[in-house]
Amino acid sequence: MAVAVAPRATRPGAPGLPEVRAGPRYWIHGYWRVFVWDLVDIRLHLPILSAVLILQGAGFVLGIGLFFRHIPQAAAIYVSTGVPVLSLLTVGLIFGPQIVATQRTEGSYEFVQSMPVPRAMMTMAWYTVSLIPALPAMTIALLVGMARYHFHLDVTSAVVPAVLATSLTGTLMGYALSHGITNPMTTRLASLSLVFVLFGFSPVMFPAAQLPHWLAEANRWLPFESMATIVRGALVKGMVTGVGRAYLVVGAWAVASALVAARAVGHRS
């Protein structure tokens, strides 16, 4: 009786040789495949998400001025440089967990996790996708703030690592949240609760001195104030201090979130 033998995976361009799942070529190919997958997956939501982020950023910058007849320029700068941080966090930290929760509900979560690509590449692909709507929204919010409140920014080259570190940490935190919590409803509630934490209890758009002492101290160890510090420090001179410490806090949260996400995904592999 003839026995069918499944063909071995071969390296492109080298028939008969087993595929080598290592090296830069494999990682880049895996990254590109997942990047395209993520773009196609949210293709219907991406224009709406971009519009929401732009309206959220520009609307908040303009709307805060309606509370004051003459808003102090320092307050206007604080708000205008804080709103971009929210734009950088919205996709990775808020929207990302919603997508994973939907995948669990629809039954496609296990299929996505079974893709033959490194887990790190899946994270980096989603991180890149999250920057696509966030960067225009961030830029427009800053331009609207400058036009409305007549201030100037002193943008330095540090804005690049500040923006990338903020968005990456937010994405990793969203990954840890969405993969660490298996109940879709709990994931959705937890991610939406972070919206209130960001707007009402984190000194992103206002100085920490305006918070109760205990809450200000707690925020010193949470990542959101530090994210605002590194972004604001790259946009405005002399407004913030402790940028080095802020990078350490943001980096620590990125590493911790990556470890939690890796452990959660590894247990389900």
Helix axes of 159-180 and 184-196: crossing angle, nearest 10 degrees: 140
With respect to residue 20, please indicate whether it lies within any of the assigned structural domains: no
With respect to residue 194, please indicate whether it lies within any of the assigned structural domains: yes
With respect to residue 84, please indicate whether it lies within any of the assigned structural domains: yes
With respect to residue 83, please indicate whether it lies within any of the assigned structural domains: yes
Question: What is the pLDDT at residue 10?
Answer: 42
- pLDDT tens for residues 186-204? 999 999 999 899 988 999 9
With respect to residue 21, please indicate whether it lies within any of the assigned structural domains: no
Kindly report the pTM of this predicted structure: 0.87
Per-residue confidence band for 267, with pLDDT thresholds at 50, 70 and 90: low
Question: What is the pLDDT at residue 214?
Answer: 95
* Domain ranges, residue 180: 29-268
Distances, alpha carbon 10 to alpha carbons 29, 48, 260, in Å: 15, 41, 34
98: its two tokens: 């919603």
- pLDDT tens for residues 149-190? 999 999 999 999 999 999 999 999 999 999 999 999 999 999
Closest CA to 73 of 141, 152, 143: 152
Per-residue confidence band for 268, with pLDDT thresholds at 50, 70 and 90: low
pLDDT at 266 over 80: no
pLDDT at 17 over 50: no
Question: What is the pLDDT at residue 21?
Answer: 60
In sequence order, the β-bridge partners of residue 18 are 10
Distances, alpha carbon 170 to alpha carbons 178, 242, 244, 245, in Å: 12, 20, 19, 18
pLDDT at 102 over 50: yes
> Mean pLDDT throughout 251-261?
95
pLDDT at 5 over 50: no
Looking at the 3D structure of the chain, how many domains does it have? 1
With respect to residue 81, please indicate whether it lies within any of the assigned structural domains: yes
